[in-house]
Each structure stands twice: as C-alpha cells, then as structure tokens.
C-alpha cells in the first residue's frame, strides 16, 4: 500500500529477557481506583462505576529514556501505576474470563499537568490536555506472565530523588484487574497491544526538572527515569 506521507512508527516497549518488543495499540487508564488517592484529590468514589480516560499510544516513554518537562504547566505530577499489557481482546468480556486477556505487566507513571486538570474540573471540561500530552506515559520493560496475575500483597511504590513518595499494595485497588477489563470491554473492543493503567495510590506530588524517579511493581518490574 502506498501512503501520502510516511506512516508513523509503532510505539513499543521492551520485554524482559527478550530482544522482542511489545507493540502498543492504545492506552486506557482508570481514575480514582485507590480510596486514599481519591480522598486526597477531593473526589468521591463510585464502586460500581469505574471512570476511564485515554492517552495516545505515542505518549509512551520506553527504555528508561528522559522525560521532557511538558509545556503549559507549572505542576507536573507523578502517579505510579501497575500497567497491564493485553495479548488478547474482545467485547463484553465476562469478569471470570477477563484476566486471561493479560499478556504481561509493567510499572508506569500517569504523568499529569495538575494545574490544567484542576482548571478542566472547575469548568466541567474533558481532561485530555492534562492527561494525554506528549511523553505522559513512561512505562518499564514488560514481564510476560506465565500464570496468575500479581497478588493483592504485591507492592507498588515510587521514589523521587531517593525519597519514597507513593507506596501501596494491589489489594487496595477498588476495582481489581478482572473488573477493570470487563468494564472496559463493555465500552471499547479491547485488542492485543492495548495497555491499561490500573490507578494510582495516595501520595501524588510535583516533579521538577532534574528529578530522578524510581518506580517498582515488586517482583515484576522496575522503571527509572529523569525529568529533563
């Protein structure tokens, strides 16, 4: 097929222990999935109604590359999250089958222009400019799963310049992985290559130019980077 312009490169992530790359199709995110984070943001939680938003696939920052400080903000905030990489998809996937869609896991940051998000919330506007900007999704190398998902005692944490900022266990999530994927598949047809950010715990705060961060999903994935 001939294109009018050169087609864009496919965003991808490294795979632990392999020279293969995982191609990224879409990025879905769930908001307010840890009660303490919702509380610190002054938001209410609706357990039966998960809230989703999206980032573009090319917002991914891979291979521990530097993250450019974004334009139009003075409040770039970190939100550490477990990231699911889907190897299968479907529509209206039953909860009991949803975990089988997951190919692997990683850890990532849902970077947020918090001042722009606050302005959008105040006016009832969408969050796109606050969440879906360039380089807003640093993600670690992915670990392929050969069996069960990370358990509820698995620790998620983030340190900035060596100081612990965020720490929680996956069992603190309001919506667990099967329910996240089942709910998403009722709204979108999920497909291989999709990434799903599963929400952030309390402790979100600002990042400055020159800051170095270390994120970990204990026993599964680690991510290092610098705000350039």
Compute the chain's Rg from CA coordinates.
17
Q: Is the pLDDT of residue 139 over 90?
A: yes
For residue 183, give the nearest of 39, 80, 29 by alpha carbon.
29
pLDDT value for 37: 76
CA distance linking residue 170 with residue 151, whole number of Å: 7
The answer for residues whose C-beta is within 8 angstroms of residue 202's C-beta and 6 or more apart is 34, 36, 37, 39, 40, 166, 168
pLDDT value for 48: 76
- Can you identify the CATH homologous superfamily of domain 12-226? Fumarylacetoacetase-like, C-terminal domain (3.90.850.10)
C-alpha pair distances (Å), 155 with each of 38, 73, 148: 19, 31, 16
Domain-by-domain residue ranges, the chain?
Answer: 12-226
Tens-digit pLDDT profile for residues 203-228: 999 999 999 999 999 999 999 999 99
CA atoms lying within 13 Å on the CB side of residue 177: 25
pLDDT value for 147: 86
CA distance linking residue 143 with residue 84, whole number of Å: 10
Q: 225 with 67: CB under 8 angstroms?
A: yes
- The verdict on pTM exceeding 0.85 is yes
Tens-digit pLDDT profile for residues 73-126: 999 999 999 999 999 999 999 999 999 999 999 999 999 999 999 999 999 999
CA distance linking residue 196 with residue 31, whole number of Å: 11
């Amino acid at each position: 097929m001939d294109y009018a312009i050169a087609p864009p490169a496919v965003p991808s992530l490294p795979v632990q222990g392999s020279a293969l790359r995982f191609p990224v199709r879409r990025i879905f995110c769930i908001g307010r999935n840890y009660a303490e984070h919702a509380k610190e943001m002054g938001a209410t939680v609706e357990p039966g109604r998960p809230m989703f938003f999206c980032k573009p696939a090319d917002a991914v920052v891979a291979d521990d590359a530097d993250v450019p400080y974004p334009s139009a903000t003075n409040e770039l905030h970190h939100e550490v999250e477990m990231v699911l990489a889907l190897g299968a998809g479907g529509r209206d996937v039953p909860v009991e089958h949803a975990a089988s869609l997951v190919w692997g896991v990683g850890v990532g940051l849902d970077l947020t222009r918090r001042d722009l998000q606050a302005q959008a919330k105040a006016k009832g506007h969408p969050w796109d400019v606050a969440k879906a900007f360039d380089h807003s999704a640093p993600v670690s190398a992915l670990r392929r799963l050969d069996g069960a998902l990370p358990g509820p005692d698995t620790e998620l944490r983030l340190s900035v310049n060596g100081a612990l900022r965020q720490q929680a266990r996956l069992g603190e999530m309001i919506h667990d992985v099967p329910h996240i994927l089942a709910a998403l598949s009722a709204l979108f047809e999920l497909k291989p290559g999709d990434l799903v950010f599963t929400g952030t715990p309390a402790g979100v705060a600002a990042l400055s130019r020159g800051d170095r961060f270390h994120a970990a999903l204990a026993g599964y994935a680690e991510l290092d980077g610098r705000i350039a």
